[in-house]
Structure 1
């Protein structure tokens, strides 16, 4: 943990601050919150509930133990033990300066202080601070718990190593830090949003389109391209085989045409504000804000999962985040001792409410997931970690036989017991028995695993340290014996 962050503080727990809190907590970071809003705890609990729901849909690994959430009556109490502090108060410079002064009075030496500001430059935030070198911009995007991008902006007063620490920490909680080369009002992304927003205001004011029609133009068109390829790569593709040069040659002259009104903005009169608000109510008023958030989250989860499947863009951040969740979920298994004549106890879990069907019983898919998580725990236990995989080596499941013995209901705690039934230089045959708290067998899963060279897409002999650990387990499990159901195919009728 090169960044040294074990505890975070959040000053402000609204839409953005609450999103930060949810991301930190779900990645196992303790968070202390200060927010004077009388409904702060309720709002935070609802944001966290949506975030947990989204993570359960998005992440295949077990979520693991959440960080601890505490609320505090003063900024001083919230930040005193924090290694990383995120300010997310309203966009007023006087309020931010007051908050930074209170943070500086109590924060421990070396604490990182990031601001969620969408518009202010870090030099403006640092003005008047006793320790300006500690304050920088860390601008996220809503929902913070799902969208990876965070813009990091510093001044010459900031220590580059401190920003590197911040970037390392934010990367570890699943974000994609973007270092802005020079400070500028609104940073990078919001300048694009502002341009689209201004043009949208004109289109509404001039009676050309409604809020819904403008949103449709984005979400059914270029928004889908931007979501996975951005602006310039999209236009590079639009240039065909000749690429970007051809695109610019073909469409560059359009820049001199009076298509947009980006250098101007309509006056936000009461009439225009009412027009926009009315159209927006007609478009989305049938949903509550929480319902819209869940619809948004479900859509984002689907896009992120698709991008992950293609190892592309934000999907790469999700893939790295999942790998960290897998590593954390099974880190405790490394401490398990190998005992003669006893199966390995490497993984436990609890049946979640969204794992059950209309009968209230765990679905077939979740039985397989529990067994797969047990296999992951076993593989990490024998040494197939990230270091081993970087050598181009891995172990794949090539055959599985599941026996469903008992029903499982929401809330039940399950424990897996794993034994090694057989091995050769390229294969492992393992058996999981899943027991409930009463000690009853819920299901069993027998798996044939194949060791492969991922770069050459072929089977190959296992290597150290995997071979060493497998030999030790084989000796310890040699006397357990093989149950009568192991290796048995499905019975014929």
Structure 2
């Protein structure tokens, strides 16, 4: 029988919690008196369904049941976990907790999303303080894995272990806090960044777009993979950070004691060598930046001399390589896919043009002749040309060159299917005639005709 979670407060954070629990198979009951909450919940679920599965290698469990209930008592009745995401007012939270705990199962956990109040303050007026923990997420909750777990001496070991088990079970990474601090860890780091950013604005040293650029295209991608201290090791070019850290901002320098602790902890943290860290960082940056809308130039390509075609130069991305640094066999189809899309667009058969006729392209067959491994970290020339045009199919030929040597030939048959029902379809006469006119202009005698099934 699926576990049950009660969501108390369904603003942006509460709705995010609801989506994460629901998509991991929990039955979810939501209480929020705001009339707009249900619409926000619906939209959040739609976004989560569209995005969360793409992060995982395995399929999610069957989705749990989601319902909005009119009373808090209905939401928490029989619930295994209660997640409170109310406004940051301590008196409100403490009062609501008293009502919730009267109806909650004694074995259930009451978790607060608060980023402001120490967990001991949340527990202060409770008859069962051991039930209450802080589980502070980052937005969007259904995608960002970090959750800051704050507990006190009143929480028993079994209760804490259960909280960590639940959070890990819904795909989160619980960070158990060593001490109670307003803002926890992530919030305090964000506040420090805000403070410095506002100082730059105040002094006229930068404008908002420049500060965002420094974070999005500089610190952010590196910190996302390595964190502050490991990226500091690389920046220093040293196995441990130099202490005191070069002080260029006029801040107080670290004490000798802090410096010693920093060195010791960095030594413990530094499992990878600088070379290993560099490789890990570069692979992650390639993957992250390549998937940004502005991270990789859209394929424009250069027209091939002579017959109508398209050619581009590409390097196999680092994050496509296997652990040994070799290019797996599936790298070649992945390289060719965006080239195919760009070529079809130039032929007037792009997704938009086909959609106007209720059509889409489907890959019906692909034959590859690749006598040698694809070189890595070296530019490859990819060329595509139109081979044949039939009633219900388009055939393309590709050449892959390393320098002047052809190292792979690929032939593809592209079929057409209806967007509405997926049934096979023929090319509309105007599109077919336009393609045939283009075909008469080119000579494909050196294309891989023998690879077409």
TM-score range, shorter chain: 0.5 to 0.7
Q: What SS class does the counterpart of residue 243 from structure 1 fall into? A: coil
How far off its partner does 1:35 sit?
0.8
Deviation track 1:70-108 (CA, whole Å, cap 9, x = no partner) reads: 111111111112101111011111111122112101011
Q: Report the Cα distance in structure 1 between the residues aligned to 2:116 and 2:13, rounded to whole angstroms.
A: 14
Distance 1:195 1:362, change over 3 A: same
Aligned to 2:311: none
User: Is contact 1:30–1:69 with CA below 8 Å preserved after alignment?
Assistant: yes
Q: Which residue of 1 aligns with 2:243?
A: 248
Query: What SS does structure 1 have at the residue aligned with 2:168?
Result: helix
The DSSP-based 3-state class of the residue aligned with 1:192 is: helix
State the Cα distance separating 1:49 from its structure 2 match: 1.1
The aligned runs of 1:24-423 (5 Å cut-off) are 24-59=21-56, 61-240=58-237, 242-245=238-241, 247-248=242-243, 251-254=245-248, 257=251, 358=355, 364=362
CA shift in 2, pair 1:60/1:299, >3 Å: farther
Q: Quote the offset at 1:409 in angstroms.
A: 5.7
Seen in structure 2, the aligned counterparts of structure 1 residues 405 and 38 have a Cα distance that, compared at 3 Å, is same
- 1:467-487 Cα offsets, whole Å, 9 max, x none, are xxxxxxxxxxxxxxxxxxxxx
Question: Which structure: larger Rg?
Answer: 2
CA contact (8 A) 2:147 2:173 kept: yes
TM-score of the two chains, using structure 2 as the length reference: 0.58
Q: 4+ residue runs of structure 1 moved beyond 6 angstroms?
A: 306-312, 365-368, 402-406, 490-493
Structure scoring higher RCO (CA < 8 A, sep ≥ 6) equals 1
Q: Distance in 2 between matches of 1:56 and 1:94?
A: 38
The answer to whether the 8 Å contact 1:16/1:88 transfers is: yes
Length-normalised TM-score, structure 1: 0.53
Would the aligned equivalents of 2:150 and 2:176 in 1 still touch at CA under 8 Å? Answer: yes
- Give distance in 1, aligned partners of 2:158 and 2:105: 17
1:101-138 deviation per Cα after TM superposition (whole angstroms, max 9, x unaligned): 12101011201111100111100100101110000110
Tell me, yes or no, if the aligned pair for 1:5 and 1:169 is still in contact at 8 Å: no
The answer to whether the Cα contact below 8 Å between 1:56 and 1:63 also exists between their aligned partners in 2 is: yes
Distance 1:91 1:68 in 2: 29
2-structure distance, mates of 1:152, 1:230: 19
How many aligned positions are there?
297
- The offset of 1:219, in angstroms, is 0.8
Return 5+ residue gaps in structure 1 as ranges: 260-297, 313-353, 369-401, 413-435, 437-489
Aligned equivalents of 1:12 and 1:233: distance in 2? 38
The answer (yes or no) to whether the contact 1:27–1:66 under 8 Å persists in 2 is: yes
Shift of 1:154: 0.3
Q: 1:366 deviation in Å?
A: 12
What is the RMSD of the two structures over their aligned residues, measured on CA atoms?
3.8
SS in structure 2 at match of 1:151: strand
Cα distance, 1:59 vs. partner? 4.0
